[in-house]
């Protein structure tokens, strides 16, 4: 195994690296409060490209996840293009195990898109304290593989598939 580590230790190292990547300073994030038609309720996650908030859409009385491009109006054309392309590609996917995109827009010069809010935990949170039982792990892997296979059939390649980006629905 790489670095002479067993598979369990490799997974622990990967999860720790993933966690440290998501602990970036959120100074570039927008403060909670009103944002267009949305009330930003809490920050859910922070990655290399954007920050995701739990938000309430006032006009439709629903809770969504709102992803905003880090750097907002200061982001370059390449970052803006990648952010928009991510939303447009994801919006084409209609699968029960892929989060649906609702809207893409810009508010006060800040590009964003909204998607289903998934109540629950990420895979990294689920396995943080102990490994999953084998049958549960296999069932999750099968579900993930089917969703990714569907995306591949549609010509979409997920370039950031990692445990923190796999959401386990609480229901």
**Active site residue: 37, 116, 129, 160, which one?**
160
33 CB burial (10 A radius; 0-12, 13-18, 19+):
exposed
Please report the DSSP string for 55-68 in residue order: EEETTTTEEEEEEE
Range 150-159 contact pairs with CB under 8 angstroms and sequence separation of 24 or more? 150/93, 150/95, 150/98, 151/93, 151/95, 151/98, 154/92, 154/93, 156/89, 156/90, 156/92, 156/93
**125 an active-site residue?**
no
Q: Which residues are catalytic?
A: 160
């Amino acid at each position: 195994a790489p670095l002479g580590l067993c598979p369990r230790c490799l997974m622990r190292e990967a999860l720790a690296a993933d966690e440290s990547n998501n602990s970036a300073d959120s100074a570039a994030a927008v403060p909670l409060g009103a944002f267009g038609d949305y009330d930003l309720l809490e920050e859910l996650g922070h990655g290399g490209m954007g920050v995701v908030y739990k938000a309430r859409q006032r006009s439709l009385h629903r809770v969504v996840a709102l992803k905003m491009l880090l750097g907002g109006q200061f982001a370059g054309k390449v970052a803006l293009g990648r952010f928009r392309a991510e939303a447009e590609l994801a919006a084409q996917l209609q699968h029960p195990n892929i989060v649906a995109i609702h809207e893409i827009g810009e508010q006060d010069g800040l590009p964003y898109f909204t998607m289903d809010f998934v109540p629950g935990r990420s895979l990294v949170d689920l396995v943080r304290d102990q490994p999953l039982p084998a049958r549960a792990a296999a069932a999750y892997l099968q579900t993930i593989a089917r969703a990714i296979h569907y995306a591949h059939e549609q010509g979409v390649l997920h370039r950031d598939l990692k445990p923190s980006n796999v959401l386990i629905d609480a229901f």
